[in-house]
């Protein structure tokens, strides 16, 4: 006696989508992660982020309201007509990571370097007397 299974088109789609044989060229459906380690010492906060394949020109680092924002965008400009690609996945990549900073840091003295696909950002901590204590606002 044969065992019959009910056909599930959604399950079939997911299996094909995540299999190696299928390729979906839309970058919006590509899942990627750029792992981050954040630690602090007595004098600084250090962020290490894996960004393989990115150059320093591809990366942008900003500080926004107590958050460190790291963005990366790269596109391939060279197109070789003589190649007959079976699969082309490395044409473009982009990411945006927002990292909350739990310590007061001196943004003006922040330093970053990129080596072997790892972005290291060093943020010197502000001394307690340098942090803003707050300000009373008088009502007119």
Q: Kindly report, residue by residue over 105-120, the tens digit of the pLDDT.
A: 988 899 999 999 999 9
Q: Is residue 99 part of a domain?
A: yes
Global confidence as pTM: 0.64
Q: Is residue 140 part of a domain?
A: no
Q: Is residue 1 part of a domain?
A: no
Q: Is residue 26 part of a domain?
A: no
| Res 24 pLDDT > 50 | no
Q: Is residue 124 part of a domain?
A: yes
The number of distinct structural domains making up the chain is: 1
Q: What is the pLDDT of residues 42-99, one digit of tens each?
A: 999 999 999 998 999 999 999 888 889 999 998 876 666 667 777 766 677 888 999 9
CATH number for position 110: 2.60.40.790
Calpha distance 101→2 (Å, rounded): 60
DSSP string of 11-58, one letter each residue: HHHHHHHTSSS-----GGG------EEEEE-SSEEEEEEE-TT--GGG
**Nearest Cα to Cα of residue 96 among 139, 62, 129:** 62
List the domain range (segments joined by +) for residue 114: 34-76+91-128
Q: Is residue 42 part of a domain?
A: yes
Calpha distance 118→49 (Å, rounded): 6
Is residue 48 within 8 A of residue 37, CB to CB? The reply is yes
Q: Please tell me the predicted confidence (pLDDT) of residue 125.
A: 93
Q: Is residue 56 part of a domain?
A: yes
């Amino acid at each position: 006696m044969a065992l019959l299974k009910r056909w599930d088109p959604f399950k079939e789609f997911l299996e094909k989508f995540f299999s190696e044989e299928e390729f979906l060229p839309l970058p919006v459906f590509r899942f990627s992660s750029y792992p981050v380690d954040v630690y602090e010492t007595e004098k600084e906060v250090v962020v290490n982020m894996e960004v393989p394949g990115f150059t320093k020109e591809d990366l942008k680092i900003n500080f926004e309201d107590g958050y460190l924002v790291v963005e990366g965008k790269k596109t391939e400009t060279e197109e070789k007509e003589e190649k007959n690609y079976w699969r082309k996945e490395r044409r473009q990549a982009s990411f945006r990571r927002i990292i909350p900073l739990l310590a007061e840091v001196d943004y003006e003295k922040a330093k970053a370097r990129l080596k072997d696909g790892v972005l290291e950002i060093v943020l010197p901590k502000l001394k307690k007397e340098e942090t803003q204590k707050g300000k009373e606002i008088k009502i007119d």
